[in-house]
Structure 1
């Protein structure tokens, strides 16, 4: 499954935890999320690419009390089965949950993969 995944932890700020193999996932992320920067949840299909944002399924909040968002840019073929933010959560959360559970309380951000 190929995707960009951005989120934050309890004490560390916004980071890309998965980069879809791109040298600079930020450029692709910014381009794809243009127009839905402040929408929660968010969903948009752009050809065979899906953009989705959903709140942390366990309602975790950072040390400032902000809801933790999970933001994805998903590339085909994984994007083919995603038609809503709810679909994105159902399809993507099981893939990243273990990683996020492991790094949630870490004092600093993990290395991106």
Structure 2
């Protein structure tokens, strides 16, 4: 899948849940989010990458009471269909490997391992 996803859970800190097939997704993540800052919602196109950030659609919170953010780096053909945060919600969040997986793991005591 052409998708890197970083987020946090209720009791586990910020980590990659999808690695886009990279053994180390951090360089691509840093490239995509290099000019973004800490805005709550982000749509940022840089070269052939799209950086997306939005708060959890179900307003789930971490143990400190903060709404959990979801950061995505999208690459490949799907980037041509994303021109806004709303497009990202519609095209990325609705995927079972995203929404369903987060519903399964967000309240876990231990963080899940990243996968491709």
Q: What TM-score, normalized to structure 1? A: 0.95
Q: How many residues are matched? A: 113
The C-alpha deviation readout for 1:60-110, integer Å capped at 9, x for no partner, is: 110001110110000011111100011101111111000000001110110
Q: Structure 2, unaligned stretches of length 5 or more?
A: none
Asked whether 1:63 is paired with 2:63, we answer: yes
Partner of 1:97: 99
Asked whether 1:6 is paired with 2:14, we answer: no
Q: What TM-score, normalized to structure 2? A: 0.93
The CA RMSD measured in Å over matched residues stands at 0.9
Q: Structure 1, unaligned stretches of length 5 or more?
A: none
TM superposition outliers: structure 1 runs of 4+ over 3 Å: none
d(CA) in 2 for partners of 1:15, 1:71: 10
Secondary structure (helix, strand or coil) at the match of 1:106 reads coil
After TM superposition, the structure 1 = structure 2 runs for residues 1-113 of structure 1, keeping only pairs within 5 Å, are: 1-95=1-95, 96-113=98-115
The offset of 1:31, in angstroms, is 1.7
